[in-house]
Amino acid sequence: MGQRARTPEELETLLEDAFVLRDREAVAELFEHGAVLGDGPREARGGDAIARLARDMWESHRTYLAEPRRVVQARGTALIVAERGINVVRRGSDGGWRYAIALLSSDGATTEEDR
């Protein structure tokens, strides 16, 4: 993928695309160094662990839908409240937005069959 999100909303779309394509590398690139991805009780920190958790989610037929309900931005930090998650994102020195914390809800999780 190698794309850089210009807005927090675009970052959400890129994460959805990476999940649809099952591209572990693309998922990892959307998170800043040391970021955290939480999926219910499971938590992964850092690119490699995040990529492994994404793979585990796919093996459970889970996917991610970009459904931001509200985006609250203060300078280079934004809070994204979505139907199935809460995410904190930050703008890097290159101008691209990346996830710092992504907490995805496993309750009512979206499966491929639901799409």
Q: What is the pLDDT of residue 80?
A: 98
Q: What angle do CA 63, 66, 72 make, to 5 degrees?
A: 140
Q: Where are the domains of the chain?
A: 8-114
pTM for the model stands at 0.88
- Which pLDDT tens digits describe the chain residue by residue (115 residues)? 567 999 999 999 999 999 999 999 999 999 999 999 999 899 999 999 999 999 999 999 988 888 999 999 999 999 999 988 999 999 999 999 999 999 998 654 444 444 4
Which residues sit opposite 68 in a β-bridge?
A: 82
Nearest to 98 by CA among 88, 90, 106: 90
Options 3.40.50.720, 3.40.190.180, 3.10.450.50, 3.30.1050.10; CATH of 8-114: 3.10.450.50
